[in-house]
Structure 1
């Protein structure tokens, strides 16, 4: 059975990973590891690096067969600030497989808070007057009126990772 170290204990990400490995017998070990990037990644490159770092750190810490990391961030464009999400999976070769997912334009009032140095999770908690949005539906769930939740968004990335990983094995 495959042992999968998950580079977070965030319930939305853990559920996405478990669901993304559908049909594969695996033992999952959620673990808290550093992303090695800023609390609010502000580019695809930084968000990808956070996912890779989480995957590698989880693999080493748990001495598992596979490490997987998911990271959310934002990307400035000429159209405004877009939400982004990336994932990485590594095994003992440490050559990461990388995949990205959905993007949506964030409202200007949210973007201005992020540009002022705040973290999206904190901004979303204040915006919705709720707690731990990042552990539940996420910004994507709020701004898609519940059509896509954070788990769904990340599960898509996990399936892309698992598909590539099983293809290469």
Structure 2
């Protein structure tokens, strides 16, 4: 069995490899077809589904996974959110969401000005490539939760749904 992951971002690819350790995982650079910075649960979920679907354009017979990070509001407070989608070779789609954490108001202000979260986080943390390493969740949890481990949890939810549906 092969698994296609709709991103070459190392945190996403490594999350899939960790949850599916004995499977050939191939990273495919595909578009999410949503805005560069998704601003709702719905848009972030749609981006994950689109990434999984777009993996299958040139490949068939494989599982495909799309992972997407975004932000969303709850009672006026901005939160980090993330979604994943797994599409089977037969076309069945499973989706799942993971951890959420409130973001500081300074982040909210910059996002509203059109700056993407990855760019903001590099400046905020005074680091390079935060989106490819610890992610915003790593910064704001004092690295107790990394971007990879957050996506691993989402991939576990997807894998569990897929396995359950194979047996029922």
Q: Structure 2-normalised TM-score?
A: 0.95
CA offset digits 1:66-112 (Å, max 9, x no partner): 11000000001214100000000002332310000000000111111
SS in 1 for 2:56: helix
**Residue of structure 2 in register with 1:10 after alignment:** 9
* 2:55 aligned to which of 58, 62, 75: 58
Is the 2:39–2:71 Cα contact (8 Å) retained in structure 1? yes
**Residue of structure 1 in register with 2:69 after alignment:** 72
**Residue of structure 1 in register with 2:113 after alignment:** 116
| CA RMSD after TM alignment | 1.1
Query: How far apart, in 2, do the equivalents of 1:137 and 1:18 lie?
Result: 17
SS in 1 for 2:31: coil
* 2:78 aligned to which of 81, 90, 93: 81
TM superposition outliers: structure 1 runs of 4+ over 4 Å: none
Query: How far apart, in 2, do the equivalents of 1:46 and 1:28 lie?
Result: 26
Q: Structure 1-normalised TM-score?
A: 0.94
